[in-house]
Structure 1
Amino acid sequence: MSSARQAWGLRFWLVTLAALLVMAATASLGRWQLQRAAHKTALQATMDERQARAPLQGAELQQALDQAPDAGQLLHRRVLLQGQWLAGATVFLDNRQMNGRPGFFVFTPLRLANGNRVVLVQRGWAPRNFLDRTQLPDVTTPAGTVQLQGRLAGPPARLYEFAPTAPGEGSSRIRQNLDLASYAAQTGLALAPLTVMQTGVASEGLQRDWAPIDSGVDKHYGYAFQWFGLCGLVAILYVWFQFVRRSPPTDCPRDA
């Protein structure tokens, strides 16, 4: 066999090996995304089931917060709260959006009635003044006993923070992020391990157009489709170039 045919044969097997490796990797990634989608589907079913339960309230809510072995088991449960706002401890989380508009998420602790338990409530969203970034939005905090509805949520989502908040007017209340443990130590409040996202119509200068709870299962199906599509494309290209359009070299004629 000529050297040209040997080189062609070597290239054929190298391309075959590379194609098989790429197809195996992309197919494996596609299956992994399907597994993630199955997990997210089960998670979505759990969240839907929790939201369908009767709201926790009163002594039942306080008992659940005190005795739950894992606070995560209470996430997304609906609640009915009654208590008094601790307006002086209100915090405004900056750079939060609602309906594409930047502003603040407003958090105020609520001392529950008939007990010392305090729950941090994400009361809603308010726009900010871009001419004066230290100006707080006009939010009304009712005095006395209030009642509200909401759902249990985890700690406030964190944003990337380039540098700590600079000292100045309003810097103690306008923050980029809020850590529950640090906030509890700062205020001296016996905070519950979970927060409450207040629901209902807009009021008190706050909007509550929260996005629906979604586990993101569609994203994983989309990724799986992309990986399996890439696997199929590699297979098609391999067959096309290795078999359909293959034209093995012929030996060069020798001079007489």
Structure 2
Amino acid sequence: MNILSSLLRNRIIPTIAMVVVMSIGIGAGLWQMSRAAGKIEKAEKLASQIALPPLDLNTKPQWTLAEADNRRLVVEGAFLVDQAIWLDNRPQPGAPATKAGSGQSGFYVLMPFRLAGMENTVIWVQRGWGPRNREDRLALPPINTPSGALRIEGVGIAQPDRVFELGDGGAGGNSPVRIQQNLDLTKEAERHRWQQIPFVLKQIGDAENDGLMRNWTAAASGVERHYAYAFQWFALALSAFLFWLIHGLLRIRQTTKR
């Protein structure tokens, strides 16, 4: 206790620096742990929601996001192929973590789906991911879209993952190919004057062999990374304390020998 008191009393500036570094390290480590816990909680909630029986969107004309969020959905109808939107700069789903900039970028294919028996009611479907042509941005990957009446299954989400965009992100142009950064459901409803379900169906399953990838990343993805970051921050805090302690003890030893 006398040695510790001496260290605190005689080394004010190093002590303050140690406390600051330890506070930053512990605080950042706890924040990373809380983010990991949040992802685990979200994944557990999602798993419980998906375990429920699927909702049939054809059973009524009006649905809310609260009813469908993270729920399995089934719907019958047909794709409106000529109204497709290609969301640019999307990473390949399910790809392993790589160094920044080394992963393959591509498109999320968004397509409106007209519900059977409801002539003017549509829901936007996030059909899957396709690779981007590195040499020609407008060269879209070949995909197959089944024609006629279909029954598809997916999970309800508020909207596709958003990315940073400048201006309108390319939306609203007259090009027959609509490549843009994000999907704005409100603007699409105003643009087409149709009755639009206020959420997106993220399609699952690969039975159609349509050339799109749908191995969507799980909600808990990245938990290990948060744990690794937390360990680094806690290690920084511990290192700061040990450096302060050992350096202080050496100084006291040198002073005693004199």
Q: What residue is the counterpart of 1:210 in the other structure?
A: 216
Q: What residue is the counterpart of 1:87 in the other structure?
A: 81
Specify which of 207, 220, 226 is matched with residue 220 of structure 1: 226
| Contact 2:58/2:75 (8 A) holds in 1 | no
The structure with the larger Rg is 1
CA deviations on 1:146-169 (whole Å, 9 max, x unpaired) are: 111111122122223356539988
- Matched residue type, 2:189: A
Going from structure 1 to structure 2, the CA distance change for 1:167 and 1:189 (only over 3 Å counts) comes to closer
The CA distance in 1 between the partners of 2:36 and 2:172, in whole Å, is 45
| Contact 2:142/2:211 (8 A) holds in 1 | yes
With normalisation by structure 1, the TM-score equals 0.78
What does 1:59-74 correspond to in 2, within 5 Å?
59=58, 62=60, 66=63, 68=64, 71=65, 74=68
Q: What residue is the counterpart of 2:113 in the other structure?
A: 110
- In structure 2, stretches of 5+ residues that fail to align are 1-6, 96-102
2:183 counterpart of 1:184: no
- In structure 1, stretches of 5+ residues that fail to align are 1-7, 252-256
3-state secondary structure, aligned to 1:142: coil
Going from structure 1 to structure 2, the CA distance change for 1:156 and 1:229 (only over 3 Å counts) comes to same
The CA distance in 1 between the partners of 2:105 and 2:149, in whole Å, is 31
2:199 counterpart of 1:194: yes
CA deviations on 1:138-191 (whole Å, 9 max, x unpaired) are: 333333211111111221222233565399884652223222211221122222
Q: What residue is the counterpart of 1:154 in the other structure?
A: 158
The CA distance in 2 between the partners of 1:138 and 1:37, in whole Å, is 38
With normalisation by structure 2, the TM-score equals 0.77
Q: Which moved more, 1:221-230 or 1:163-172?
A: 163-172
Q: What residue is the counterpart of 2:41 in the other structure?
A: 42
3-state secondary structure, aligned to 1:107: strand
What does 1:163-178 correspond to in 2, within 5 Å?
164-165=169-170, 170=175, 172-178=177-183
- Matched residue type, 1:106: V
Q: Work out the percentage of aligned pairs sharing the same amino acid.
A: 34
Q: CA deviation at 1:206?
A: 2.6
3-state secondary structure, aligned to 1:16: helix
3-state secondary structure, aligned to 1:248: helix
| Contact 2:73/2:156 (8 A) holds in 1 | yes
CA deviations on 1:16-54 (whole Å, 9 max, x unpaired) are: 222123223322332333333333322221011112222
Going from structure 1 to structure 2, the CA distance change for 1:150 and 1:230 (only over 3 Å counts) comes to same
| Contact 1:134/1:171 (8 A) holds in 2 | no
3-state secondary structure, aligned to 2:87: strand
Specify which of 243, 246, 255 is matched with residue 248 of structure 1: 255
CA deviations on 1:202-256 (whole Å, 9 max, x unpaired) are: 52333323333325433332232222111111111011100134323999xxxxx
Going from structure 1 to structure 2, the CA distance change for 1:15 and 1:216 (only over 3 Å counts) comes to same
